[in-house]
Amino acid sequence: MSKPVIATTSLAGCFGCHMSILDIDERILQLIELVEFNKSPVDDIKTFTKPVDIGIIEGGCCNSENVEVLKSFRKNCKILISLGECAIMGGLPALRNGIPIEECLHEAYIGGPTVGLNKMGIMPNDDELPMLLDKVYPCHEIVKIDYFLPGCPPRADLIWDALVALITGDPMKLPYEVVKFD
Amino acid sequence: MSNLIKFKIDGVECMTERGKFIVEAALENGIFIPTLCNMPGVKPKGSCRICTVKINGRLMTSCTTPVADGMEVESNSTEINELRKSIVELLFVSGNHFCPACEKSGNCELQALGYLYQMMVPRYPYEFPLREVDADSPYIIKDQNRCILCKRCIKTIKDEQGRSLFAFRDRGHRLEVVLDKELAAEMTPELAELAMKNCPVGSILVKEKGFVEPIGKRKFDKTAIGSDVKL
Ligand code: SF4
Ligand code: SF4
Ligand code: FES
């Protein structure tokens, strides 16, 4: 039997969840025995080259590119996991939810106390740039997500247990200390 | 007539004095029933419903229902725990709970209930309501994003003349618990500490007092809420 294939991505996240994947330490050697990585920042494969078994999503959707990537993950992966608070509920980027987008951009590029270098008061507005969404969306409000692993970042043990359980078909252990929201 | 009465929780024989509410009587018998709005020694109001149990096929709040002789209470069952979990989920989606950036994280009773019921994601859509943070008073920050309207502050934080420092404002969907500006200006640092302690969530914060305990040492990092309840 060929190895299960994994893909990962970071949408509106900080890469902390990916750091936590690496935080499984020496078990990473076991992991590469168990699975094969496809599209992922871990191996720098940029596009899907084959059907994927498990897609791991870090970060919620704050712009049109996030939505497109998330949809391509749904299309190419049998199972999708929301990894971390941002994927699950928008996380810190979603602090802007409820504030009109115009006001956010103004604060970031014109009115805020740290925008000194932007003397001409330019707001990024190029066709090449992804469009910001009206708010940051949890991934499961855009596509169907199969599993959720909370944490900021999720504990390495939680990620490891979840992957092993999915690959072997054994039930997840979920000890108290590993399911945390921070 | 003896003042002691017998009753059962999930089939376990219990005994208590007549007149006690079920949550208290359960604790005396080493059984934990989750609560949020209830506080020992304060008249219960039954507003959060997290303490719901089933008696004679009916759902009742155990913080407001006195034990009766021979009563049979269903508490730790799949049905009741699912119901409690959905209350926790509703509280999470109806406010703005960014636990990673919250000063109360690790010591928060709402979060601890999320852990107890293994809430991986709320099953309801997030509301992301627009709420204010009031940092005007000298000692306290009142963060409306995290308030669960439990009234514990209203009932317990009072000045020397017995006036509540916190009060309800508005109604329905816009209902808020706000801090009285004038009374808050006179508040002692001790009362501010007590207010923060009595709030089950991170809606009342003492200024310059966040993130005191490191992750791993906080109340609910390693032990579940209610796990200290024993006979
Ligand atoms: S009040 Fe509790 S549940 Fe809400 S953000 Fe803070 S820790 Fe999380
Ligand atoms: S501020 Fe805290 S104690 Fe007061 S009603 Fe809100 S959640 Fe309850
Ligand atoms: S604790 Fe009983 S209703 Fe809130």
Q: What is the pLDDT of residues B180-216, one digit of tens each?
A: 999 999 999 999 999 999 999 999 999 998 899 999 9
In contact, B17 and B5? CB cutoff 8 Å: yes
- Please give the pLDDT value at position A118: 84
Is residue A128 in a domain?
A: no
| From A88, A148, A176, residue closest to B115, measured CB to CB | A176
Q: How far is CA B213 from CA B22, B73, B82, B102, B221, in A?
A: 34, 38, 32, 13, 11
- Which of B99, B118, B124, B127 to probe the A interface (max A CBs under 10 A)? B99
Strand partners, A12: A60
- Please give the pLDDT value at position B1: 57
Give the architecture (CATH level 2) of B85-210: 2-Layer Sandwich (3.30)
CB neighbourhood size of B84 (10 A): 23
B5-10 long-range CB contacts below 8 Å, 24 or more apart? B5/B67, B5/B68, B5/B69, B5/B70, B6/B69, B6/B70, B7/B67, B7/B68, B7/B69, B7/B70, B7/B71, B7/B72, B7/B73, B8/B71, B8/B72, B8/B73, B9/B53, B9/B73, B9/B75, B10/B73, B10/B74, B10/B75, B10/B76, B10/B77
Q: From the CA of B44, how far away is ligand 3's center (Å)?
A: 7
Q: Which CATH class is domain B4-76?
A: alpha beta
Average pLDDT over residues B40-64: 96
- Please give the pLDDT value at position B81: 98
In eight-state DSSP terms, residue B21 is B
CB neighbourhood size of B225 (10 A): 20
% chain B with pLDDT above 70: 100
Give yes or no for B89 touching A (CB within 8 A). Answer: no
Per-residue pLDDT at B2 exceeds 80: no
Per-residue pLDDT at B78 exceeds 90: yes
Per-residue pLDDT at B155 exceeds 90: yes
- Please give the pLDDT value at position B24: 96
In eight-state DSSP terms, residue A93 is G
Ligand nearest to the CA of B156: 2
This complex has an ipTM of 0.93
Is residue A129 in a domain?
A: no
Half-sphere exposure of A33 (CA within 13 A, CB side): 6
Give per-residue pLDDT as tens, B11-36: 999 999 999 999 999 999 999 999 99
pLDDT band at A162; cut points 50, 70, 90: very high
CA distance A156 to A153: 8
pLDDT band at A113; cut points 50, 70, 90: confident
Is residue A147 in a domain?
A: yes
The domain total for chain A is 1
The H or E element that residue A77 is part of is strand A77-83
Answer yes or no: do A89 and B126 touch at CB < 8 A.
Answer: yes
Average pLDDT over residues B80-100: 98
Q: Is the previous residue joined to A153 through a cis bond, with omega within 30 degrees of 0?
A: yes
% chain A with pLDDT above 90: 88
Q: Domain segments of chain B: what residues? A: 4-76, 85-210
Q: Which CATH number goes with the domain that contains A89?
A: 3.40.50.700
Half-sphere exposure of A145 (CA within 13 A, CB side): 24
Is residue A109 in a domain?
A: no
Structural domain boundaries, residue A150: 5-98+134-178
Answer yes or no: do A179 and B115 touch at CB < 8 A.
Answer: yes
- Please give the pLDDT value at position A116: 81
In eight-state DSSP terms, residue A109 is I
Token code pair at residue A98: 């409820």
Is residue A76 in a domain?
A: yes
In terms of Cα–Cα distance, which of B151, B210, B209 is closest to B178?
Answer: B151
Cα three-residue angle A175-A153-B201, rounded to 5 degrees: 75
Answer yes or no: do A152 and B114 touch at CB < 8 A.
Answer: no
CB of B199 closer than 6 A to ligand 2?
A: yes
pLDDT band at A1; cut points 50, 70, 90: low
**Which residues does a 6 A CB cutoff place in the pocket of ligand 3?**
B 35-38, 46-51, 61, 63
Per-residue pLDDT at B109 exceeds 80: yes
More confident residue, B78 or B40: B78
Tell me the shortest Cα–Cα distance from B46 to chain A, in angstroms: 27
Cα three-residue angle A53-A57-A59, rounded to 5 degrees: 175
Per-residue pLDDT at A181 exceeds 80: yes
Q: How far is CA B65 from CA A132, B4, B13, B34, B152, in A?
A: 51, 17, 18, 14, 19
- Please give the pLDDT value at position A98: 87
% chain B with pLDDT above 90: 95
Is residue A77 in a domain?
A: yes
Per-residue pLDDT at A121 exceeds 90: no
